[in-house]
C-alpha cells in the first residue's frame, strides 16, 4: 500500500537556523513527489514537484531533494514568514492522479 511519512511532526527554529524536513515514502511506480505549504485556514500552496532520484528544486530559502526512498525539504536561514505546515504527497502508478499525503510538519520560526 502506498504510504507517506513525514518527520518531525513539529519543528521550532530560531530565525536564521537552517534545518531539514523529511518525507519517507513507499509507492509502486512513483509518478511525482510534491511539496506544499499550508497556512492556517487556507488551502495548500504548491511548492515543488520532483520526479526522479537525484533531482533537486530550489525556491528562495527552500530546496527539495529526492532519493529512491525519501525527500528532504531544506530550509536555509529561515524567517518568521516561513512558519507554516509543510506537506509532502506522492502520486503512484496507474491511471489516477490521486495524491497520497503525509500528515505534515508544523514549522515555527521565531524571531
Partner 1 sequence: KAGVTQTPRYLIKTRGQQVTLSCSPISGHRSVSWYQQTPGQGLQFLFEYFSETQRNKGNFPGRFSGRQFSNSRSEMNVSTLELGDSALYLCASHWTSGKNEQFFGPGTRLTVL
- Only one of the segments 22-30, 54-62, 70-78, 102-110 lies at the binding site for partner 1 (rule: CB under 8 A); that segment is 102-110
Q: Is residue 44 within the footprint of partner 1 (CB under 8 A)?
A: yes
Is the omega angle on the peptide bond into residue 59 within 30 degrees of 0, that is, cis?
no
CB of 17 to partner 1, least distance (A): 27
Which of 58, 38, 37, 105 lies closest to 66 in space, CA to CA?
Answer: 58
Whether the CB-CB separation of 103 and 85 falls below 8 Å is answered with no
Contact with partner 1 (CB under 8 A) among 15, 17, 45, 58: 45
Q: Is the dihedral of CA 46, 41, 89, 86 positive or negative?
A: positive
In the region spanning residues 48 to 87, those forming contacts with partner 1, defined by CB under 8 A, are 49, 51, 87
* End-to-end CA, the chain: 41
CB of 96 to partner 1, least distance (A): 4
Beta strands 99-101; 105-110: pairing state = unpaired
CB of 14 to partner 1, least distance (A): 27
Kindly list the residues in this chain that would bind partner 1 in the complex (CB under 8 A).
32, 34, 36, 41-46, 49, 51, 87, 89, 95-104
Amino acid at each position: 500500500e502506498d504510504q507517506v511519512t513525514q518527520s518531525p511532526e513539529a519543528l521550532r527554529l530560531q530565525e536564521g537556523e537552517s534545518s531539514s524536513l523529511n518525507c519517507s515514502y513507499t509507492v509502486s511506480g512513483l509518478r511525482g513527489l510534491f511539496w506544499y505549504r499550508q497556512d492556517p485556514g487556507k488551502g495548500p500552496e504548491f511548492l515543488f514537484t520532483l520526479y526522479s532520484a537525484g533531482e533537486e528544486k530550489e525556491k528562495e530559502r527552500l530546496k527539495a531533494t529526492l532519493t529512491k526512498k525519501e525527500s528532504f525539504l531544506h530550509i536555509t536561514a529561515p524567517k518568521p514568514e516561513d512558519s507554516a505546515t509543510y506537506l509532502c504527497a506522492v502520486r503512484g502508478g496507474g491511471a489516477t492522479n490521486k495524491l497520497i499525503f503525509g500528515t505534515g510538519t508544523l514549522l515555527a520560526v521565531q524571531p
